[in-house]
Amino acid sequence: MLNCTGPVKRFGSFWGISGIKLFLFASFFLLILSACSPSQAAAPEGIPSLASSPVPPADTPTNQINIPTLVPTKTLVPPATHTPTATATQTPVPEYRNSIVFVSDRDGNKEIYRMDADGSDFARLTDNIGDDSSPRWSHDKTRISFLSSSGVSDHLYTIKPDGSDMLNLTPGTTGVSQCEWSPVAYLIACISVKGGSANNGLIIVDPDQRKFKTAFTAQGDLLDLAWSPDGEQIALAAAEVDGLLVYNLAEDSLAEHELGSGLAQRVAWSHTGNRLAYSFGPRDPDQFATMYTVKIDFLDPKRWLERGGPDWVQSFSPGDEYVLLESSRLGHSEIFVVDLAGRQLIQLTNTEEGDGNSSSANAFPVYSADGERIVYVSIRAGQSDIFLMDADGTRARNLSDHPAVDTEPDW
């Protein structure tokens, strides 16, 4: 009988002990692989699982700008309707956003010219036998309106900024003055002139349809007009009322608002639409008008300056912090602003430099769209040029610099 105890014991010891170790090692290795393999277990807090439901996309922004648009009807001027426009990032930038139009007689008679705010890109836009005046940009700077003389009265024309496509919008015997574009639509309001004398009506012109209608006929002269910022109303200074008239386009109605005993001669509407500024004073020709404001309820008008003008209201600054004035309270015409918050009058121009410059004058101030600059006319040593300055009156520079008369800028 063979004695197998020794060899078997050695064989059994090798597989008995080492085998157990190998089995435990293999089991441990499989456990690690199982733990590291992908599973549907919940992800750690803060990290989304790939198997979880997708997050829905954010809602489309709803803060798009709505601009009221007036659409012509058989009555020409209907109620304003709001239509959505592109978002601010999609709105096209006007090609002529930095261009200034003005009047010059440098080529023999008064014509309309255009230039950039640095004096470059100078171009003549009209070439008419009569004198052209009062150029105004449309709200989107795609067209320019102007007046052109024809016999004893002016007629309303429009033209593209490159000088093409000139249209006569008031043919026949209807003369006009004081024409202003709606701030939101292709409509122009004008004071009509009958027989070349009295200003006695308001007309609304639709350039696209080449039509116009008489909104109302006044008993006396209409002196100035201003659109509300939503394009739904027009405020007017009128000789026969002690205050202001307001014409409502949608309702085709006219309201008279008394503001005291006196005469309003200039009017401007704030950009927020909550108040108006106007030049108001006694009807006595020896007493001057000065600046007042009133809220749109037309109660409690407020005088801002001691009389000593005349102080001619031009416009509110784009942020409504200031009212721009042309004033002769110093004995010659200078440009001022009234700081509404600070309740102070600030002089922006000062071209009175002694007896040798006694004929100096500054007029026709117009804000840039951002309110940071003002274009205006300055007459110095007998020469009338288009100037530009910062809104605080600094860095005045001559843009046109020509012996001819350059005047009536619009930006």
Residue 42 has pLDDT above 80, yes or no: no
- pLDDT for 8 equals 36
DSSP state letter for 53:
P
Q: Does a structural domain hold residue 15?
A: no
- pLDDT for 94 equals 73
Q: Measure the CA–CA gap between 400 and 386, rounded to whole angstroms.
A: 5
Q: Measure the CA–CA gap between 175 and 149, rounded to whole angstroms.
A: 9
* Tens digits of residue pLDDT in 18-31: 444 444 444 544 44
Average pLDDT value for residue range 173-202 = 85
Nearest to 141 by CA among 169, 80, 183, 85: 183
- pLDDT for 358 equals 53
Sign (positive or negative) of CA dihedral 174, 175, 180, 181: positive
User: What is the DSSP pairing of strand 406-410 with strand 222-227?
Assistant: unpaired
Q: Which residue range is the domain that position 354 belongs to? A: 102-410
Q: Comparing 152 with 411, which gets the higher pLDDT?
A: 411
Q: Does a structural domain hold residue 7?
A: no
Residue 10 has pLDDT above 60, yes or no: no
* Tens digits of residue pLDDT in 124-170: 999 988 899 999 999 999 999 999 986 678 899 999 999 999 999 98
Indicate the range of 43-47, 285-289, 337-341 predicted with least confidence. Answer: 43-47
Residue 67 has pLDDT above 60, yes or no: no
Indicate the range of 8-12, 50-54, 111-115 predicted with least confidence. Answer: 50-54
* Tens digits of residue pLDDT in 30-40: 444 444 443 33
pLDDT band at residue 173 under the 50/70/90 scheme: low
Count of the separate structural domains present in the chain = 1
Q: Which percentage of the chain shows pLDDT scores above 90?
A: 64
Q: Does a structural domain hold residue 205?
A: yes
Residues 6+ apart with CB under 8 A from 295: 274, 275
What CATH number does the domain containing 149 carry? 2.120.10.30
Q: Does a structural domain hold residue 2?
A: no
Q: Measure the CA–CA gap between 135 and 111, rounded to whole angstroms.
A: 10
Q: Comparing 409 with 69, which gets the higher pLDDT?
A: 409
- pLDDT for 87 equals 41
**pTM of the model as a whole:** 0.76
Q: Does a structural domain hold residue 33?
A: no
Q: Does a structural domain hold residue 66?
A: no
* Tens digits of residue pLDDT in 231-284: 999 999 999 999 999 999 999 999 999 999 999 999 999 999 999 999 999 999
Q: Does a structural domain hold residue 182?
A: yes
- pLDDT for 59 equals 32
Q: Does a structural domain hold residue 3?
A: no
